[in-house]
């Protein structure tokens, strides 16, 4: 279970978040939420995925899933994370993290 936040500066947004069906939030909001997350953990059924929640610039809670590409690191030793899911926080997602469902945005 997670008790930390993973604010590795070495992250990228998957193209599907920028355009296409998975474009739910402005990419600037996705970047802001990643940098302002307050909880993250490895997904229990798939430890190559990091799940996290953070706030967008307006203070709305955002759910995020990133691929852990920890075999790739920057010069500072920070692991590479590729965000491929970003949306408003749902009750189901918060429950997976063990957080109260009343925090959900939808």
pLDDT tens digits for 19-70? 766 657 888 888 898 889 889 888 888 878 889 999 999 999 999 988 877 6
Instruction: Tell how strand 11-13 and strand 79-88 pair up.
Output: parallel
Whole-model pTM? Answer: 0.78
Parse the chain into domains and list their residue ranges. Answer: 11-103
Task: Tell me the per-residue pLDDT of 58-80, one tens digit each, with 9 for 90 and over.
Answer: 999 999 988 877 677 767 777 77
Exposed, middle or buried: residue 66 (CB in 10 Å: 0-12, 13-18, 19+)? buried
Cα–Cα dist 6/68, whole Å: 11
Assign 28 to helix, strand or coil. Answer: helix
């Amino acid at each position: 279970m997670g008790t930390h936040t993973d604010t590795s500066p070495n992250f990228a947004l998957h193209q599907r978040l920028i355009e296409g069906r998975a474009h739910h939030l402005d990419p600037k909001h996705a970047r802001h939420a990643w940098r302002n997350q307050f909880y993250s953990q490895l997904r229990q059924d798939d430890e190559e995925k990091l799940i996290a929640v953070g706030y967008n610039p307006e203070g709305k809670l955002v759910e995020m899933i990133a691929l852990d590409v920890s075999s790739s690191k920057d010069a500072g030793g920070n692991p590479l994370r590729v965000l491929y899911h970003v949306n408003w926080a749902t009750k189901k997602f918060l429950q997976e993290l063990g957080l109260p469902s009343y925090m959900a945005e939808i």
